[in-house]
Chains A and B, each alone.
Chain A
Amino acid sequence: MSTRLAKGGRLIDRAKPLNFTFNGKPMRGFAGDTLASALLGAGQVMVGRSFKYHRPRGIVASGAEEPNALVGLGRNARFEPDQRTTTTELFEGAETRSQNHWPSLDFDIGEINDRLYKFFPAGFYYKTFMAPRAAWKHLFEPIIRKSAGLGGVPKEADPDRYEQAYAHCDVLVAGGGVAGLAAALREGRAGKRVWLVEQSAHWGGRTPVDDGQIDGVEAEDWIAAALEELESLANVTMRTRFMAAGLYDHGYVIGYESVADATPGDGRPRHRLWRIRAGLTITATGAIERPLAFAGNDVPGVMLASAVRDYIVNWAVSPGDRTVIVTNNDDAYRTALALLDAGLTVPTIVDAREETHGALPQEVKARGVRVLEGRGIARVLGRSRVTGVEICAQAGEGGAVETIACDCVAMSGGWSPVVHLWSHCGGKLIWDEPRAMFRPDPSRPPTGADGAAMATVAGAANGDLTLAETMAGFGIGACSHDEAALAPVWMMPAGATDALRYKAFLDFQNDVKVSDVQLAAREGYTSVEHTKRYTTLGMATDQGKLSNINGLAVLSDALGQPIPATGTTTFRPPYTPISLGAITGEARGDLFQPLRRTPIQSWHEAQGAHWEPVGHWRRPYCYPRKGESHSDAVGREITNTRKNVGMLDASTLGKIVVKGPDAGRFLDMLYTNMMSTLPVGKCRYGLMCNENGFLMDDGVVARLSEDMWLCHTTSGGADRIHGWMEDWLQCEWWDWKVYVANLTEQFAQIAVVGPKARALLERLGGMDVSKEALPFMHWAEGKLGDFDARIFRISFSGELSYEIAVPASQGLALWETLMAEGEALGVMPYGTEALHVMRAEKGFIMIGDETDGTVIPQDLGLSWAISKKKADFLGKRAQERSHMTDPNRWKLVGLETLDGSVIPDGSHAPAEGYNANGQRNTQGRVTSTYYSPTIGKGIALGLVLNGPDRMGEVIEFTGEGETQIKARIVETCFYDKEGEKQDV
């Protein structure tokens, strides 16, 4: 039974007890506890179930490497699955629940998997569940899905907020242990801008738990002095609870800061995501102890030796009364000392090495602890709690020579440097044979924008496992116990029988055993990546922090090759999982994406407009009145516009000014038709193609002066076309004297449309808007009422139409003035859908409907807008290619259903027969289809094979479901074919 010790605990404050619950059971810990130390302190050893076999699992580690002790934390909207207890600080009222069991932690139906373990080796699912075919989806997979998963499912939207921030520094030191502190001191004293970050809440790393002196003083005193000096340096920024999650290209580091995890709902952001641009990153990320692979090494109560002493020293928690230590190195003897100092019993130390002469073993032996040399653990006894161990010869097959009763096992297989940050961006590793570890290869660091190293490594992360080695890297003297060499042990005992290997776990969470890796090797999954993927080794939430090195050592052994020949899998960010909330930051709900607003937006909002997203704009689709459907509103808006007068907020329309001596020449290259010949004061409709010949944008161009044109683009195209112009001007025709400016947001633009449009404008007074003064396809500037206005006589509806541009600041006032003055004329606003219907009634194309990136102007009957005189324009060469000049292209026509119904959106016209792939041949498709309130029936535009040559022909289109609709091919214009209404 684990328990809280009466004395000690360097990180806890016994004066501040904290209440929490585990599976509804009230428990108590102290400020400074982690969830894990609090659980152990409260006597809770078993805390979860494993992924595959649902085996009972306890806390193994004391840090980020913990694979087992994950809980659901919180409730309702603040519930969070898979919370790692070893790194979560305890807070008052924390609610925790164990995971992956049903109906309860202690009695779990899923445990049947463990009883049947022989049937579920690595990859068994690749060999089974294949018949009958439908059974996978309907039977096997649902069972697997249900029993897999791990954490519970959050049910509500996250009420917390998250923040994102930038930082720039010369040096980022990742890790606040003694190596990180020393590195920050060195760089800080040199005047560098330093960020020093530590993932836990405490500085100093694990040195205070272990023994040693630095620079002639006790390590803790040195740490305190270092912190004091660092805090005094203005150029050094220090952050705890701050993980360097990943190192990315060009020295970009993602930092993950826990701000309010322990104070839910206090109004502060829960997490902060930092984007740090660091000149150099020093990875002082320490090392992680390796487990040993023996049968039953996953039974609750079996822990890492370092974790056992962490719990004792840091949190005054005893993981057990009688702890057997099993090791292949001297470091684990420190755990014996810690246990003894706490008054606990160490019945035996089982050391796989034949000899133990180091200073630490000597000291432990001197305190009367029995040390068994050349021995290993054959198996752990107990199921949901360790009750004892069977001892065997390490060199043998596991025959028990002795059974020792105990309630805790502290294991140590040596240490592995934390090389994640070093490796994320291409830093390479070398195998250090004497120390049996992969460590960073200083000759192959990750490189940055300048091709030079962007990371270095310090301390245990560099394989300098002893305090003396670590501090020597900074020219600082330090001493601790000398340590004798370890003896690599990848399987315990070395010749373990099948039965033992089937219970010797490598990856605790995913239940990958020594036998699984050996099976993978036997079946030819010999690449370390194959083994990983076949067995799921290292794919759990700890990403193999405990399992990878042991696993690849077992694989190497199975393949009879040295470990470096096997290599490692790829280290990918983040170091430990980071919340999607932090990655999202503030960009949720209304802030999800920026919203572009026209100067008239507030009026639309007040009218209760129904919106249509257009790029980052949001335009009124229609303005439904009370009780009115959207389609009724659209019909009313169209009818009123055609009968009286309607108003459209056209401010989103692109407005690009092109100016300069070569502006005309430039526009002649950009547009398919001639713009240089456009007289000042006139407007001309133009088409733009890309170099592939496809139609990309259209709009009306107005010549403002001798050397200045105003190009209107589509709403969605303004920025793109502006960029397109800049591209050609800067990169191809850079000697042409042309200046372009995107003035889209500088002007509000209002279309006043309908037979009474002129009457409305005249009510405002001012400039002459008569047919004579301002004819169709002309523009004029002047005072409209009190407004400085530029008015274009252009029409996208076929009606008498004025588009009035005023400075953006005047847009709302003009709109409101026009609405007020127009009341007597029956003015109504209309939205984008009415706009669409009216232009379709006229047979005008819409970019994005009639075009889709594969359509050329010639397909749309727009050959009249393609200059035959120009030697060149963008897209001209492409339109000469064989596919473009093919006489059998689909071309734009009008379509009228015989029964007056509306052809569905996207409908296709089947043709006779099937192609070589068994697909029905087609001869056309609908591009725009609407109910026309003006015509009183369905109208459509469509692209039809040789369409213009087939006027009057009736063809079939696909209707809803399996139906067909008959439609007659007609001209594209359905309304006022002579164009009399717009030119009055």
Chain B
Amino acid sequence: MLSLTCPCCGITAEETEFAPGGEAHLKRFGPGSSDEAFEGYLFARKNPKGVHFERWRHAYGCGKWFLAARCTATLEVFGTYPAQTTQPPAELIAKIKAKRPEWEGWA
């Protein structure tokens, strides 16, 4: 039972208040994109055993989507941040790097 902090309303709440939404920072490919790019957008997932950037919605709270950096092997949550961005905040990446020197980084 995870505990997450919504960066939009600031509330720390039970997992049951949130809805998970899969990998974050996927780039949408629409008409005109290659088959490969479109397939990658819809299906190919990093699914790492380790640091994972992912989407959550505060579904039974403020209703906002947000993003989280979380370790899938320990469930440690490094941080959450608003969804309106195409990449994780630099300070969050630095924080993870400091905690996990062996982490290959966000790409």
Do A and B touch each other in the complex, judged by CB within 8 A? yes
Q: Which residues of A contact B (CB under 8 A)?
A: 248-252, 275, 277, 426, 447-451, 691-692, 723, 726-727, 730-732, 734, 871-872, 876-878, 880-881
Report whether B3 and A449 are in contact in the complex, using a CB–CB cutoff of 8 Å: yes
Report whether A449 and B76 are in contact in the complex, using a CB–CB cutoff of 8 Å: yes
- 20 examples of A-B residue contacts, CB within 8 angstroms: A252-B3, A426-B74, A447-B74, A449-B77, A450-B77, A451-B78, A691-B42, A692-B42, A723-B19, A723-B57, A726-B63, A730-B83, A734-B84, A871-B31, A872-B30, A872-B31, A876-B30, A876-B31, A877-B29, A877-B31
Query: Is B52 part of the binding interface, using a Cβ–Cβ cutoff of 8 Å?
Result: no
Q: A871-B31, A881-B35 are in contact. Are A250 and B65 (CB under 8 A)?
A: no
Report whether A250 and B75 are in contact in the complex, using a CB–CB cutoff of 8 Å: yes
A278 to chain B, nearest CB (A): 11
Residue of B2, B31, B42, B78 contacting most chain A CB atoms (<10 Å): B31
Report the bound CA distance from A723 to B2 in whole Å.
Answer: 21
Query: Is B21 part of the binding interface, using a Cβ–Cβ cutoff of 8 Å?
Result: yes
Interface residues on B, range: 20 to 34
B84-98 residues at the A interface, CB under 8 angstroms: 84
Query: Is B38 part of the binding interface, using a Cβ–Cβ cutoff of 8 Å?
Result: yes
Report whether A451 and B33 are in contact in the complex, using a CB–CB cutoff of 8 Å: no
Known contacts A723-B57, A732-B28, A880-B31; 13 additional CB pairs below 8 A are A250-B2, A277-B3, A426-B74, A447-B76, A450-B77, A451-B78, A692-B42, A723-B59, A726-B63, A731-B55, A871-B31, A878-B38, A881-B35
Q: Across the interface, which residues of A come within 8 angstroms of B64, CB to CB?
A: 730
Report whether A730 and B65 are in contact in the complex, using a CB–CB cutoff of 8 Å: yes
B2, B14, B55, B74: the one within 8 Å of A451 (CB): B74
Report the bound CA distance from A731 to B27 in whole Å.
Answer: 11
B90 to chain A, nearest CB (A): 20
- The residue of chain A having its C-beta at the shortest distance from the C-beta of B65 within the complex is A730
B45-68 residues at the A interface, CB under 8 angstroms: 55, 57, 59, 63-65
Report the bound CA distance from A732 to B86 in whole Å.
Answer: 9
Q: A252-B3, A876-B31, A877-B38 are in contact. Are A726 and B57 (CB under 8 A)?
A: yes
Q: Across the interface, which residues of B come within 8 angstroms of A251, CB to CB?
A: 3
B5-44 residues at the A interface, CB under 8 angstroms: 14, 19, 21, 28-33, 35, 38, 42
Report whether A249 and B1 are in contact in the complex, using a CB–CB cutoff of 8 Å: yes
B33, B59, B71, B84: the one within 8 Å of A730 (CB): B84
Report whether A734 and B83 are in contact in the complex, using a CB–CB cutoff of 8 Å: yes
Report the bound CA distance from A723 to B74 in whole Å.
Answer: 29
Residue of B19, B28, B29, B83 contacting most chain A CB atoms (<10 Å): B28
Report the bound CA distance from A730 to B65 in whole Å.
Answer: 7
Report whether A249 and B75 are in contact in the complex, using a CB–CB cutoff of 8 Å: yes
Q: Across the interface, which residues of B come within 8 angstroms of A449, CB to CB?
A: 2-3, 75-77
Q: Across the interface, which residues of B come within 8 angstroms of A691, CB to CB?
A: 42
Q: Across the interface, which residues of B come within 8 angstroms of A881, CB to CB?
A: 35, 38
Report whether A878 and B42 are in contact in the complex, using a CB–CB cutoff of 8 Å: yes
Q: Across the interface, which residues of B come within 8 angstroms of A872, CB to CB?
A: 30-31
Q: Across the interface, which residues of A come within 8 angstroms of B71, CB to CB?
A: 451
Q: Across the interface, which residues of B come within 8 angstroms of A878, CB to CB?
A: 38, 42
Q: Across the interface, which residues of A come within 8 angstroms of B77, CB to CB?
A: 449-450
B15 to chain A, nearest CB (A): 8
- The residue of chain A having its C-beta at the shortest distance from the C-beta of B3 within the complex is A250
B37 to chain A, nearest CB (A): 10
Report the bound CA distance from A878 to B29 in whole Å.
Answer: 10
Q: Across the interface, which residues of A come within 8 angstroms of B65, CB to CB?
A: 726-727, 730-731
B72 to chain A, nearest CB (A): 12
- The residue of chain B having its C-beta at the shortest distance from the C-beta of A250 within the complex is B3
Report the bound CA distance from A453 to B64 in whole Å.
Answer: 30
Report the bound CA distance from A450 to B31 in whole Å.
Answer: 42
- The residue of chain B having its C-beta at the shortest distance from the C-beta of A876 within the complex is B31
A448 to chain B, nearest CB (A): 8
Residue of A723, A727, A877 contacting most chain B CB atoms (<10 Å): A877
* 10 tightest A-B CB contacts, nearest first: A451-B76, A252-B1, A734-B84, A250-B3, A730-B65, A872-B30, A731-B83, A877-B31, A449-B77, A877-B30
B1, B30, B35, B42: the one within 8 Å of A248 (CB): B1
Report the bound CA distance from A854 to B78 in whole Å.
Answer: 38
Q: Across the interface, which residues of A come within 8 angstroms of B42, CB to CB?
A: 691-692, 878
Report whether A450 and B76 are in contact in the complex, using a CB–CB cutoff of 8 Å: yes
Q: Across the interface, which residues of A come within 8 angstroms of B38, CB to CB?
A: 877-878, 881
Q: Across the interface, which residues of A come within 8 angstroms of B30, CB to CB?
A: 872, 876-877
A121 to chain B, nearest CB (A): 40
- The residue of chain B having its C-beta at the shortest distance from the C-beta of A727 within the complex is B65
Report the bound CA distance from A881 to B37 in whole Å.
Answer: 12
Report the bound CA distance from A732 to B85 in whole Å.
Answer: 9
Report the bound CA distance from A511 to B4 in whole Å.
Answer: 46
Report the bound CA distance from A904 to B5 in whole Å.
Answer: 51
Report the bound CA distance from A922 to B78 in whole Å.
Answer: 52
A670 to chain B, nearest CB (A): 13
Report the bound CA distance from A516 to B62 in whole Å.
Answer: 58
- The residue of chain A having its C-beta at the shortest distance from the C-beta of B37 within the complex is A877
Report the bound CA distance from A877 to B42 in whole Å.
Answer: 11
Residue of A723, A731, A732 contacting most chain B CB atoms (<10 Å): A731
Report the bound CA distance from A880 to B34 in whole Å.
Answer: 11
A807 to chain B, nearest CB (A): 23
A526 to chain B, nearest CB (A): 27
Q: A449-B76, A451-B74, A730-B83 are in contact. Are A249 and B2 (CB under 8 A)?
A: yes
Q: Across the interface, which residues of A come within 8 angstroms of B99, CB to CB?
A: 451
B64 to chain A, nearest CB (A): 6
Report the bound CA distance from A450 to B4 in whole Å.
Answer: 11
- The residue of chain A having its C-beta at the shortest distance from the C-beta of B83 within the complex is A731
Report whether B1 and A250 are in contact in the complex, using a CB–CB cutoff of 8 Å: yes
Report the bound CA distance from A251 to B76 in whole Å.
Answer: 12
Report the bound CA distance from A251 to B3 in whole Å.
Answer: 9
- The residue of chain B having its C-beta at the shortest distance from the C-beta of A450 within the complex is B76
Report the bound CA distance from A277 to B1 in whole Å.
Answer: 10
Report the bound CA distance from A426 to B14 in whole Å.
Answer: 20
Report the bound CA distance from A201 to B50 in whole Å.
Answer: 43
Q: Across the interface, which residues of B come within 8 angstroms of A451, CB to CB?
A: 71, 74, 76, 78, 99
Q: Across the interface, which residues of B come within 8 angstroms of A447, CB to CB?
A: 74, 76
Q: Across the interface, which residues of B come within 8 angstroms of A275, CB to CB?
A: 1
Q: Across the interface, which residues of A come within 8 angstroms of B29, CB to CB?
A: 877
Q: Across the interface, which residues of B come within 8 angstroms of A250, CB to CB?
A: 1-3, 75
Residue of A248, A250, A450 contacting most chain B CB atoms (<10 Å): A250
A181 to chain B, nearest CB (A): 28
Residue of A249, A449, A872, A880 contacting most chain B CB atoms (<10 Å): A449
A812 to chain B, nearest CB (A): 29
Report the bound CA distance from A732 to B84 in whole Å.
Answer: 8
Residue of B14, B30, B38, B42 contacting most chain A CB atoms (<10 Å): B30
Q: Across the interface, which residues of B come within 8 angstroms of A727, CB to CB?
A: 21, 57, 65
Report the bound CA distance from A715 to B20 in whole Å.
Answer: 23
Q: Across the interface, which residues of B come within 8 angstroms of A871, CB to CB?
A: 31
- The residue of chain A having its C-beta at the shortest distance from the C-beta of B41 within the complex is A691
- The residue of chain A having its C-beta at the shortest distance from the C-beta of B84 within the complex is A734
Report the bound CA distance from A734 to B83 in whole Å.
Answer: 9
Report the bound CA distance from A312 to B42 in whole Å.
Answer: 69
A424 to chain B, nearest CB (A): 12
B32 to chain A, nearest CB (A): 8
Residue of B35, B64, B65, B99 contacting most chain A CB atoms (<10 Å): B65
Q: Across the interface, which residues of A come within 8 angstroms of B19, CB to CB?
A: 723
Report the bound CA distance from A867 to B1 in whole Å.
Answer: 45
B85 to chain A, nearest CB (A): 9
Q: Across the interface, which residues of A come within 8 angstroms of B84, CB to CB?
A: 730-731, 734
A275 to chain B, nearest CB (A): 8
Report the bound CA distance from A275 to B84 in whole Å.
Answer: 34
Report the bound CA distance from A730 to B19 in whole Å.
Answer: 15
Residue of A426, A450, A730, A871 contacting most chain B CB atoms (<10 Å): A730
- The residue of chain B having its C-beta at the shortest distance from the C-beta of A691 within the complex is B42
Report the bound CA distance from A880 to B39 in whole Å.
Answer: 12
Q: Across the interface, which residues of B come within 8 angstroms of A249, CB to CB?
A: 1-2, 75
